[in-house]
Amino acid sequence: MLRRVVVTGVGLVTPLGVGKDVFTRQLFGGFSGIRPITLFDTTRFDAKLGAQIRDFTPQDFIRPATLRRMDRLSQMATAGARMALDDAAFQIGPHNRDRVGVVLGTCFGGTDVAAQFGKVLFTDSPRRANPILVPNVVMNAPAGHAAIELGVRGVNTTVNHREVSAETAMAYAAAEIMRGRADVILAGGGDIISEFYFNVLTHFRTLSPQKGGMEELRPFDAQRNGTIVGEGAGIVCLESLESAEARGAIPYCEIAGWGLSAAPAGPNDWPTDPIGPSLAMTRALAAAHIDSGEIDYVSAAANGGRRSDRIEAEALGGVFSSPGRQPRVSAIKGSLGEGFSSGGIRAAAMALSIQNRTLAPTLGLSQPLAPLNFVLNAETQVAIRYGLLNGVSSGGTFAAVIMKKIG
Amino acid sequence: MEQNRVVVTGLGTVNAIARSVPEFSSALQAGRCGIGPVTVFDTAEFRTHNGGEVQQFAPREMIPRPYSLKRMSRADCMAMAATVEALNDAGLFAAPDKLRGEMGVVIGGGAGGMLECEAVYRDYLLGTGRGLAYSRFASFCCASSADQIASQLRIRGPKTTFMTACSSGATAIGYARDLIQTNMAPVVICGGTEPLCRITYAAFNALQAVDPEHCKPFDKNRQGLSLGEGSGVMILEALSHARQRGARIYGEILGYGVSCDAHHMTAPDPEGAGAALAMRRALEDAGVSTEAVDYINAHGTATPANDLMETKGIKAVFGRRAYQIPISSTKSMIGHTLGAAGAIEGVAAVLAIHHHFIPPTIHHQTPDPQCDLDFVTEGARASDINIVLSNSFAFGGNNTAVVFGKFADSGVTHA
């Protein structure tokens, strides 16, 4: 018998602020986290903007002994995990610590540490490479650090599959709880902005401005010209419904199902047709045992990318084609930038939307490229029974997660 | 439950002692050592110089046209080569479009395309890049291997990549089984891939975790691991699907377990508590008793800390029975292939079941009174094996254990 999985907490370290209260005010208030980048000098780049995390004091969430061993991404993820656990009011003790896990997704990992380590290796000598940095060069460092800080010995896994890492991590975590292998899993993901990757993304023409336009992130817009980088970590506390009920916790929502798919694409490139994202969404609908007309709201992955936004819009138009039952659609990367492993932050935002009955706006969208039912300005008093979180990734990987209001 | 059984119908590997599964099987039985001087990059500046390198790797000979090698890293090519072998072995290389539409790909990664990107990165740091070969970054992410496999073979099922350092490959196998059991896919290509590269080599050297000669798992004088490279891939299939098409069945995936030490980022819990938890969970998931386990393919990296804690962990789980179970580290032959280790060792476990032998732990000369179990140090043994437990432990305290079983129609071999 498969168990039901619910979201009982959210943890957020984002460009819109830290913690769910400030995040909620900012996101649903229509504010943007995009500013000039200060992490490094952008003089030599066309792109100057990014959505950096702000007002983050890791000491507020992490003990000094663990904190001093952590890289920036691990700090963000661990603080997010702590916040999600506190938000869920879940107490960890010797009796339950083996049944609590951490499953995170990251696209690039702690690239700042890898760069620091590589710098000594390549400009000096491998013999002087710093052993202190080694633990944080590996992609699974954030999940490992979070487990040490929280003292939890349950399932611990890291998904490293480009922009759908966090969505896939949440699907994996939900499956582990469903099968009874864990009672609580802190799931989600994060990435950081780093100079080296800014170079690489510039080379691949991922970043706005392209073709001499303004530097803007315009999801699903006919005039979109590339994305703007973001960073941050978003963690949701996933819990078995029976565990939540036993301790009297009131969940935000339930994980009703998910779908994963692949579609042929060139290396690091996008498929030419919308079959991939359509398959992930239809598989998620089948897993949740609902039809497309029952989805009230879609949190899209669109980031201003010229090809990715188009195939996502085509897939949404194709899957949600029941007359009169088109879901509302917003793309919150207009506020957050492309955070790569953004699925955790977007899942937390979806949980808040369901609970607070509010829809976040799609900043930057003025001329929609397709006739979808877009949310242009924040809306309140909107009942969401089923919400769909969509994830798309270069290389042709797709993930959709359906979140459902309980009761 | 019949509909929940997941079987292995195809195998593929490239590693330091083999470029095919039949070669791997004979090399394991012969106890061949694949650890020698590293040639994929210049080791002059490093503290050590040996590793388990894949010799004379020629991807074009293993990956037929029209499949492209363009923008594929060494890690991608090794994964693709192992996948081609495994699919052929399973009789699924020319799978119909309908099956490709549902087939999944789950790969465990490590350094991914790092070997190729290191040169670009060095040029970038030194400011010597005339035309930086950024196109190489197309294959930088670990995800590139699964992407290449799925895209080139036109597969549309679930696809993902795990990166839990040295347990990635084992986790990929465990998750692939779950995807089949939950009806997300009837067939999944799963495994792991890992290239030798400077960053990894420098990292383990910086930690002083590398034996300058070759690793000596469970030996009293062990000094550390030998880094290796390679790929291991297996085709997992729902039993009903395998039966329907009359596939040859190598064995069955009976269960897997995951745990976290929550102790230290690079050092294992010295008492092996996290390792023991993963082993117990895998056995419980498989529904097999400690009495039923015939062979343990150990993590056995040959670092002083790992081998001691793993011995303790096995004793904690198996009690007196620990002394009766043959345990070996195939890393003694191919080195520690990190992200691929759990997958290559999974292939070894299935071969042990299928060909009735227990692979040896080579290079073991001086018994360690603290590691006093049966490490199969005298050479491979002929033995009828029904159940194998395969251990993988990693940085970050990420532990995974997988239980493989001989396939029996009744499904009661492991009662």
Give the DSSP H/E element, type plus range, for residue A149.
helix A141-150
Residue with tokens 């916040």: A83
Contacts of B160 in chain A (CB under 8 A): 159, 161, 164, 168, 172, 260, 397
Q: What is the CATH number of domain B256-405?
A: 3.40.47.10
A52-66 pLDDT tens trace: 999 999 999 999 999
Closest chain A CA to residue B209: A131
- Looking at the DSSP bridge assignments, the partners of residue B256 are B402
CA gap A379, A181 in Å, rounded: 39
What is the predicted pLDDT for the residue at A111? 85
Q: What does pLDDT average to over chain A?
A: 96
- Phi-psi category of A205—alpha, beta or left, where left has phi over 0 and alpha has psi -120 to 50? left
The reply to whether B2-244 and B256-405 are identical in fold is yes
Residue with tokens 């004793």: B315
Distance of CA B135 to the CA centre of its chain: 29
B339-393 pLDDT tens trace: 999 999 999 999 999 999 999 999 999 999 999 999 999 999 999 999 999 999 9
Q: Under an 8 A CB cutoff, do A153 and B260 touch? A: yes
Active site residues of B: 166, 299, 336
CA gap B272, B227 in Å, rounded: 23
CA gap A212, B36 in Å, rounded: 54
Query: Which pLDDT band, with edges at 50, 70 and 90, does B136 fall under?
Result: confident
Q: Under an 8 A CB cutoff, do A267 and B71 touch? A: yes
Contacts of B274 in chain A (CB under 8 A): 153
- List all residues 6 or more positions away from B23 whose beta carbon is below 8 Å from its beta carbon: B17
Q: What domains are there in chain A, each with its CATH number? A: 5-246 (3.40.47.10), 256-404 (3.40.47.10)
A116-158 pLDDT tens trace: 898 899 889 999 999 999 989 899 999 999 999 999 999 999 9
Closest chain B CA to residue A197: B137
| Model confidence at B2: pLDDT above 60 | no
Q: Tell me whether 0.95 is exceeded by the ipTM.
A: yes
Q: Under an 8 A CB cutoff, do B46 and A126 touch? A: yes
Return contacts of A404-407, CB within 8 angstroms, 24+ apart. Answer: A404/A253, A404/A254, A404/A255, A404/A256, A404/A288, A405/A253, A405/A254, A405/A354, A406/A6, A406/A251, A406/A253, A406/A254
Average pLDDT over residues A395-404: 98
Best residue of B159, B208, B269 to probe chain A, by most A CBs closer than 10 Å: B159
Average pLDDT over residues B150-164: 97
What CATH fold (topology level) applies to the domain B2-244? Answer: Peroxisomal Thiolase; Chain A, domain 1 (3.40.47)
Contacts of B393 in chain A (CB under 8 A): none
Best residue of B155, B260, B277, B338 to probe chain A, by most A CBs closer than 10 Å: B260
| Model confidence at B411: pLDDT above 70 | no
A186-244 pLDDT tens trace: 999 999 999 988 988 988 899 999 877 899 999 999 999 999 999 999 999 999 999 99
Domain ranges of chain B: 2-244, 256-405
Largest Cα–Cα separation, chain A: 66
A78-89 pLDDT tens trace: 999 999 999 999
What are phi and psi for residue A74, nearest 5 degrees? -65, -35
What is the predicted pLDDT for the residue at B340? 98
CA gap B90, B159 in Å, rounded: 20
Closest chain A CA to residue B138: A268
Radius of gyration (Cα) for chain A, nearest Å? Answer: 20
What is the predicted pLDDT for the residue at A218? 98
Contacts of B263 in chain A (CB under 8 A): 148
Average pLDDT over residues B225-244: 98
Closest to B262 (Cβ–Cβ): which among A148, A157, A200? A148
Residue with tokens 């790992």: B306
| Model confidence at B1: pLDDT above 60 | no
B207-216 pLDDT tens trace: 999 999 999 9
What is the predicted pLDDT for the residue at B129? 61
Residue from B342, B4, B406 nearest B178 by CA: B4
Contacts of B144 in chain A (CB under 8 A): 267-268, 395
Per cent of chain B over pLDDT 90 is 89
| Pair of tokens at residue A369 | 């490229």
Average pLDDT over residues B91-110: 96
What is the predicted pLDDT for the residue at B415? 39
* Chains A, B: CB pairs < 8 Å: 243
What is the predicted pLDDT for the residue at B132? 63
Query: Which pLDDT band, with edges at 50, 70 and 90, does B131 fall under?
Result: low
What are phi and psi for residue B408, nearest 5 degrees? -135, 140
Instruction: Name the residue with higher pLDDT: A268 or B75.
Output: B75
Q: What does pLDDT average to over chain B?
A: 95
Smallest CA–CA distance, residue B139 to chain A, in Å, is: 7
Q: Under an 8 A CB cutoff, do A152 and B260 touch? A: yes
User: Which DSSP category does A181 fall into?
Assistant: S
Contacts of B143 in chain A (CB under 8 A): 160-162, 393, 395, 397
CA gap B200, B209 in Å, rounded: 12
B285-330 pLDDT tens trace: 999 999 999 999 999 999 999 999 999 999 999 999 999 999 999 9
Smallest CA–CA distance, residue B223 to chain A, in Å, is: 17
What is the predicted pLDDT for the residue at A200? 87
| Model confidence at B117: pLDDT above 90 | no
What is the predicted pLDDT for the residue at B414? 46
